[in-house]
């Protein structure tokens, strides 16, 4: 991890086109401005983690619902000639 010290109004550049500027320093936090192209996604880590957890819960719920629905479907009949189906 790179650790830098910046003062209000100072910036750092990430890659060729992302600029992070210190806007304000308070006793309870730092306000940052991020200038990035639209194709670069910028997210707060805690929001991204919450979205990922919710997506995982949704997939689990969908899997459980799919399993319940499969249990309601009639099972396919075995072929009359006795051969196994895949």
- Where exactly are the structural domains of the chain? 7-39, 42-72
Strands (DSSP E) contained in the chain are: 11-14, 18-26, 29-35
pLDDT at 8: 97
Confidence band of 84 (pLDDT split at 50, 70, 90): low
Alpha carbons 19 and 70: distance in angstroms, whole number:
51
pLDDT band at 61 (very low <50, low <70, confident <90, very high): confident
Give 38 or 63, the one with higher predicted confidence: 38
Between CA 54 and CA 4 the distance in angstroms is 33
Q: Reduced to 3 states, what is the DSSP secondary structure of residue 3?
A: coil
9-41 tens-digit pLDDT: 999 999 999 999 999 999 999 999 999 999 999
């Amino acid at each position: 991890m790179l650790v830098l010290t910046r003062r209000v109004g100072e910036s750092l550049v990430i890659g060729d086109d992302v600029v992070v500027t210190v806007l304000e320093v308070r006793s309870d936090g730092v306000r940052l401005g991020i200038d990035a192209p639209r194709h670069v996604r910028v997210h707060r880590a805690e929001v991204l983690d919450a979205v990922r957890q919710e997506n995982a819960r949704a997939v689990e719920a969908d899997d459980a619902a799919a399993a319940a629905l499969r249990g309601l479907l009639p099972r396919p009949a075995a072929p009359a000639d006795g051969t196994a189906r895949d």
